[in-house]
Amino acid sequence: MESYNTYQTPLSTRYASKEMAHLFSPAKRFRTWRELWLSLAIAEKQLGLPISDEAIDQMKQNLDLTPEQFDIAAKEEKKRRHDVMAHVHTFGTVAPAAAGIIHLGATSCYVTDNADLIFLRVGLTYLIRSLAVLISRLSAFAAQYRDLPALGFTHFQPAQLTTVGKRATVWIQDLLWDLRNIQRARDDLGFRGVKGTTGTQASFLALFDGDHEKVEKLDELVTKLSGFEYAYPVTSQTYSRKIDIDVLGPLASLGATAHKIGTDIRLLANMKEIEEPFESTQIGSSAMAYKRNPMRCERVCSLSRHLMLLHQNALMTASVQWFERTLDDSANRRITLPEAFLTADIVLFTLRNVSEGLVVYPQVIAHRIAQELPFMATENVIMAMVKHGGDRQIAHERIRVLSQEAAYQVKQRGLENDLIERIRRDPYFDPIKGELESLLDPASFIGRAPEQVDTFLKKWVEPALAGEEARDAIQESQNVELNV
């Protein structure tokens, strides 16, 4: 088994929440092992094994490791070359009455795998709370800009208008699916329980003199003491590594969502329509003092790529587990699982920071619309002429010629789009010149975008955030902001 020092993920936790960083710390891991040994002892005592009250009490009083116990464990591991047994011995030094019964009947995966399942469940809960806050923040942004027209893009080419708020709802909808997927993964998690070295529970059957009912009861008791509703009905030495696939899949999907959001904002920043927060003393470039690089969204995209790739690692690990288990999953998972959760946590934290300080530039957005809208409005102009008795084919040809002339000014000479002025100067269009302003009103080109924002927030976002878990997370974040 690897040294306990390998539990310390190489990924920097500088931007991770304290809760998530602590969840994957050595201190949390080894305390959890001790809690699992305590639960096993309590259940075994309840079912009739000769375990003293003193042993239980000493275990309860020494769940946290001191620096001295970490040192003892390190020395024991160097001697024994086995991390679990090193910690069995270390726990026994502070709970001597329990030294003979700690880990009784169990295999190493009793503590390592069950602890991992606990960490996965808690980590998913942290991410669910962070997601709820992010969705709440972006929803407020969408509501604020529900009807602000903006040029839409398909193929990153100018397309029909949308609104700033409507575009944000596309981001939010993806995040709602991530919230659903992560909640499903968490709520579906079971416990490995007490299954023995190859999953047959043979050691526990021997402890209880062949009493199958007591062995089944032991599995149930330890599972409930550890806070799980059920244990997986069958395991090998480990819980199936497909569980890791099921957990990391939604995190990888979240990475794809975050990358898309980060990329959209980076592109909008290039167009100077929307920017991420930029501090008054922040430096965008060491050489180009004017620059406002979207470094937060760049970080989101960078880490999201890493997050998406970790799912592939889980797939490969599950595929090479020979028979009842091989140890080549161990070192891999000790890096992959913490990194996946720490990365997802940092991505959500950074996106939340971005969402809370997005800067919108309506005048720039309006100017870009003005550059493209005249071309988009040509069909409206033609229809207006027809209503005034004009011939559609003639109107179409006159507009086509004027549009080509205006396009030449824009593309070949770098000038403004003057199509509307050309229409104003053409006597053919005299019947509708008084209507041109209304025909070019951007609000008439956004369809039902504002109403879609309202309906989406009411019928989809509000119910998704109405649960106690989400409401508590949002309220807690607001309290923190007020205190700050």
Q: Are residues 338 and 407 in the same domain?
A: no
Banded model confidence at residue 196, pLDDT cuts 50, 70, 90: very high
The phi and psi torsions of 153 (rounded to 5 degrees) equal: -135, 135
DSSP string, 406-419: HHHHHHTT-----H
Banded model confidence at residue 68, pLDDT cuts 50, 70, 90: very high
Say if 6 falls within a structural domain. no
Q: Are residues 176 and 321 in the same domain?
A: yes
CA angle 169, 368, 268 (to 5 degrees): 45
Banded model confidence at residue 2, pLDDT cuts 50, 70, 90: very low
Q: Are residues 333 and 221 in the same domain?
A: yes
Q: What is the pLDDT of residue 14?
A: 52
Q: Are residues 149 and 82 in the same domain?
A: no
Catalytic: which of 3, 12, 52, 285? 285
Q: How many domains does the chain have?
A: 3
Say if 402 falls within a structural domain. yes
Q: Are residues 189 and 248 in the same domain?
A: yes
Q: What is the pLDDT of residue 459?
A: 98
Averaged pLDDT score across all residues of the chain? 91
Q: What is the pLDDT of residue 9?
A: 43
Q: Can you give the three-state secondary structure of 232-256, one letter per residue?
A: CCCCCCCCCCHHHHHHHHHHHHHHH
Quote the tokens at residue 461: 């976002």
| 253 is annotated as an active-site residue | no
CA angle 469, 470, 476 (to 5 degrees): 90
Say if 340 falls within a structural domain. yes
Express as a percent the part of the chain with pLDDT over 90: 73
Q: What is the pLDDT of residue 286?
A: 47
Say if 476 falls within a structural domain. no
Q: In the predicted model, is pLDDT for residue 144 greater than 90?
A: yes
Q: What is the pLDDT of residue 378?
A: 80
Banded model confidence at residue 12, pLDDT cuts 50, 70, 90: very low
With residue 275 as reference, give the H or E element that holds it. strand 274-275
Identify which of 43, 37, 51 has the alpha carbon closest to the alpha carbon of residue 106.
Answer: 37
Say if 71 falls within a structural domain. yes
Q: Are residues 96 and 113 in the same domain?
A: no
Q: What is the pLDDT of residue 362?
A: 96
Q: When comparing pLDDT for 208 and 292, which is higher?
A: 208
pLDDT digits (tens, 9 = 90+) for 382-408: 888 899 888 999 989 988 998 888 888
Distance CA 158, CA 476 (A): 41
- Assign residue 57 the CATH number of its domain: 1.10.275.10
Identify which of 299, 211, 216 has the alpha carbon closest to the alpha carbon of residue 262.
Answer: 299
Q: What is the pLDDT of residue 292?
A: 75
Q: Are residues 236 and 332 in the same domain?
A: yes
CA 151 → CA 154, 164, 194, 365, 418, distances in Å? 10, 9, 60, 7, 18
- Domain boundary, last residue among 86, 104, 122: 104
pLDDT digits (tens, 9 = 90+) for 301-342: 999 999 999 999 999 999 999 999 998 888 899 999 999 999
180-199: average pLDDT: 97
CA atoms within 13 A on the CB side of 129: 19
Q: Are residues 193 and 254 in the same domain?
A: yes
Distance CA 155, CA 137 (A): 28
Contact yes or no for 23/126 (Cβ under 8 A): yes
Say if 194 falls within a structural domain. yes
- Assign residue 428 the CATH number of its domain: 1.10.40.30
Q: What is the pLDDT of residue 418?
A: 86
Q: Are residues 321 and 420 in the same domain?
A: no
Say if 260 falls within a structural domain. yes
pLDDT digits (tens, 9 = 90+) for 456-483: 999 999 999 999 999 999 999 888 776 6
Q: What is the pLDDT of residue 3?
A: 39
Q: Are residues 368 and 429 in the same domain?
A: yes
- Assign residue 196 the CATH number of its domain: 1.20.200.10
pLDDT digits (tens, 9 = 90+) for 346-381: 999 999 999 999 999 999 999 999 888 888 778 888
408-417: average pLDDT: 87
- Ramachandran region, residue 325 (left: φ > 0; alpha: ψ -120 to 50; beta: rest): left
- Domain boundary, last residue among 104, 122, 146: 104
Q: In the predicted model, is pLDDT for residue 258 greater than 60?
A: yes
Contact yes or no for 48/214 (Cβ under 8 A): yes
Q: In the predicted model, is pLDDT for residue 281 greater than 70?
A: no
Q: What is the pLDDT of residue 291?
A: 55
Q: What is the pLDDT of residue 432?
A: 87
Contact yes or no for 123/341 (Cβ under 8 A): yes
DSSP string, 160-228: EEEEHHHHHHHHHHHHHHHHHHHHHHHHH--B--S--SSSS-HHHHHHTTT-HHHHHHHHHHHHHHTT-
Q: Are residues 118 and 231 in the same domain?
A: yes
Q: When comparing pLDDT for 190 and 290, which is higher?
A: 190
Distance CA 273, CA 352 (A): 19
Contact yes or no for 138/170 (Cβ under 8 A): no
CA atoms within 13 A on the CB side of 237: 15
Contact yes or no for 317/96 (Cβ under 8 A): no
Q: In the predicted model, is pLDDT for residue 279 greater than 90?
A: no
Say if 449 falls within a structural domain. no
- The residue range of the domain holding 395 is 364-433
Express as a percent the part of the chain with pLDDT over 70: 93
Q: In the predicted model, is pLDDT for residue 10 greater than 50?
A: no
| 155 is annotated as an active-site residue | yes
- Residue found under tokens 């808690």: 122
For residue 145, list its beta bridge partners. none
Q: In the predicted model, is pLDDT for residue 344 greater than 90?
A: yes
Q: Are residues 236 and 195 in the same domain?
A: yes
Q: When comparing pLDDT for 289 and 475, which is higher?
A: 475
Banded model confidence at residue 484, pLDDT cuts 50, 70, 90: low
Q: What is the pLDDT of residue 482?
A: 64
pLDDT digits (tens, 9 = 90+) for 155-176: 998 888 999 999 999 999 999 9
The phi and psi torsions of 297 (rounded to 5 degrees) equal: -70, -30
